[in-house]
Amino acid sequence: MKLKAALLSLLVMAMVFVSYGKAQAIEADVSAGVDVLSNYVWRGQNLVNDSGVLQPTLDIALKNGLGFNYWSNNSMNNGETTETDLTLTYSRDYGKLSTTTGYIHYGLDSAPDTEEIFVALSYDTFLSPSITVYQDIDEGDGQFVIFAIGHSIDIGNFYGKDVALNLGASAGYNFSDGASMGTNAKGKEFNDFYAGELTASLTIPVTSNITIEPKIAYTGELSDDADEAISALNVGYGTGRDTEVLYGGVNISMNF
């Protein structure tokens, strides 16, 4: 089973982390959180039918640049876990340029598991532009690219702590990944813009290590090819030809 193989790989990586730490003291930032959302939207696809979702996550970031993330999606309607993702990353900064390479295992309940590797670049300047290139190495054989910008604005004080308004926008481009991203009206894999998303959230510190972040997002298709692909894959609110989704919720996170 692919998930067992992924867990074994993660166990091996953990042993490497520990072995490395015997030579150098391991320092890590650990955080955990949960998103409570009206929908589960992934790259423009609405993936849960008639239910809000709970999405818990655990992040471990070592000072040497290695990182691990656990994430899952859980239906609030029946309590079922529909997806569990495991991610390994390595990040480095070169002045204002930040780089991350990584591996993602997608453990899916209603479809075959799959895997991706990715490379992300971001630059610390106005609007914090970034580009992330994903390569499916299992069920699919194509690539998916996400271009993103974002900006945070301090808007006030909440019981002595600064509150920030976070605004973001992203656009995805599909390179013939029919297995994950669907096909066009001719039933063919395609190269075209896929989905765009606009986001807004408020970062509200509650204590020194607990943060609440209400959020809202709007996503929609960016091409006729994507319209056909997304409408065929949507299973949640607005199924059928409706490829535009307005959704939101709140994130609660804690740093340890």
pLDDT for residue 23:
43
Q: Is 235 exposed, middle or buried (0-12, 13-18, 19+ CB in 10 A)?
A: middle
- Asked if 50 and 77 touch (Cβ cutoff 8 Å), the reply is yes
Helix (H, G, I), strand (E, B) or coil at 126: coil
Cα–Cα distance, 175 to 162 (Å, whole number):
41
Cα–Cα distance, 29 to 62 (Å, whole number):
6
pLDDT, mean of each 10-residue run, the chain (256 residues)? 49 51 66 95 87 94 94 91 95 97 93 94 97 92 94 87 95 87 90 97 93 96 93 67 86 95
The bridge status of strand 66-75 relative to strand 53-62 is antiparallel
Query: How far is the CA of 17 from the CAs of 27, 99, 160, 212, 224, in angstroms?
Result: 11, 20, 38, 31, 46
Query: Residue 191: which residues within 8 A CB-CB, separation 6 or more?
Result: 173, 174, 175, 176
pLDDT for residue 156:
86
Cα–Cα distance, 88 to 60 (Å, whole number):
10
At position 245, the amino acid (one-letter code) is V
Count of domains observed in the chain? 1
Give me the half-sphere count of Cα atoms (radius 13 Å) on the Cβ side of residue 183: 7
- Asked if 118 and 67 touch (Cβ cutoff 8 Å), the reply is no
Range of the domain at 10: 2-255
Torsion of CA 132, 138, 139, 143, to 10 degrees: 30
Query: How far is the CA of 30 from the CAs of 40, 69, 143, 237, in angstroms?
Result: 25, 10, 31, 34
CATH number for position 243: 2.40.160.40
pLDDT for residue 239:
46
Using alpha carbons only, give the angle 20, 25, 26 rounded to the nearest 5 degrees. Answer: 70
Return the DSSP state at 77. Answer: T
Query: How far is the CA of 25 from the CAs of 62, 72, 91, 189, in angstroms?
Result: 10, 30, 18, 48
Cα–Cα distance, 253 to 256 (Å, whole number):
10
